[in-house]
A and B are shown apart, each in its own frame.
Chain A
């Protein structure tokens, strides 16, 4: 199989996987997106920022479907947004300052924690 075809197949399947996680868990998909972007050659920090670019459109669609199926409560979500936005200012600043090594460690630890939580819930 040609390299380019392989790569496109990978993009399709991992992309679908990221969306699968997002739809099933109602969160991110960054767990898949960040390592995948690194594999594609992005640096540690670039993987994190571009992961958000991937997850955002997916999240919008998932959120709409959840609302459409009446699974969730829009008003509740509004409560957390103001401080969340403040958090986004802080976080984007922190991402600039943090070392890539520590970013990778924190991310790995969070992944394990999230996985264990899911397994035993």
Chain B
């Protein structure tokens, strides 16, 4: 157990608990420093996130910051998507599917930075 591993876990935990996608860091660390295979690294990252996510949710829901109704609905469809995604990766191979998503993420990141936020509902909540 070395310092780099501990730090990788630490920063992934910080970013992950903030909803900032801490996943990137751990996967990068695993592939660069431990020469872990991509798929193995992804699985490790998924497993890693579970306790981090649980702890974060507990802390946030104590402060009444979680709205379970819409989120669980979305999550239900997400589970279907995840199963489909894993199946798709089996089919197309990891590289192609990852490149497609890389492109999508870049586009979304750019729009996130430059777009003014809009709400679908007429009565949008106030931004805090």
Chain A residues in the interface with B (C-beta under 8 A): 7, 10-36, 38-63, 65-67, 69, 71-74, 76-77, 79-92, 94-95, 98, 100, 103-121
Task: Decide: B65 and A46 in contact? CB cutoff 8 A.
Answer: yes
**Cα distance A5–B92 in the bound complex, in angstroms:** 33
Known pairs A87-B16, A117-B28. 11 more at Cβ < 8 A?
A7-B120, A31-B105, A54-B78, A67-B43, A72-B42, A83-B7, A84-B51, A88-B55, A92-B60, A95-B19, A113-B109
Picked from A17, A30, A80, A120, the residue with its CB within 8 Å of the CB of B20 is: A30
- In terms of DSSP, what is the predominant structure of the interface of chain A? helix
Residue total for B at the interface (Cβ-Cβ under 8 A): 98
Q: What separation, in Å, do the CA atoms of A59 and B112 have in the docked complex?
A: 24
> Is the CB of B125 closer than 8 A to any CB of chain A?
yes
Taken together as a complex, chains A and B put the C-alpha atoms of A64 and B106 apart, in Å, by 29
Which B positions have Cβ atoms within 8 angstroms of A?
1, 5-24, 26-28, 36, 39-57, 59-60, 65-68, 70-86, 88-89, 94-95, 97-99, 101-113, 117-121, 123-128
**Chain A, residue nearest B113 (CB):** A108
Chain A residues within an 8 Å CB radius of B76? 15
Contact B108 A24 (CB under 8 A): no
Are A108 and B23 CB-contacts (below 8 A) given A19-B84, A39-B120, A71-B39?
Answer: no
How many angstroms between the C-alpha atoms of A88 and B57 in the bound complex? 10
| CB–CB B86/A25 < 8 A | no
Question: Which residues in A have their C-beta under 8 angstroms from that of B104?
Answer: 115
Contact B14 A109 (CB under 8 A): no
Say yes or no: B16 contacts A88, CB within 8 Å: yes
- B86: chain A residues within 8 A (beta carbon): 23-24, 62, 65-66, 69
Least CB distance from B35 to A in Å reads: 12
Chain B: minimal CB distance from A90 (Å): 5
For B105, list chain A residues within 8 Å (CB). 31, 111-112, 114-115, 118
CB distance from A38 to the nearest CB of B (A): 5
**How far is the CB of A20 from the nearest CB of chain B, in Å?**
4
**Chain A residues near B106 (CB-CB < 8 A):** 111-112, 115-116, 119
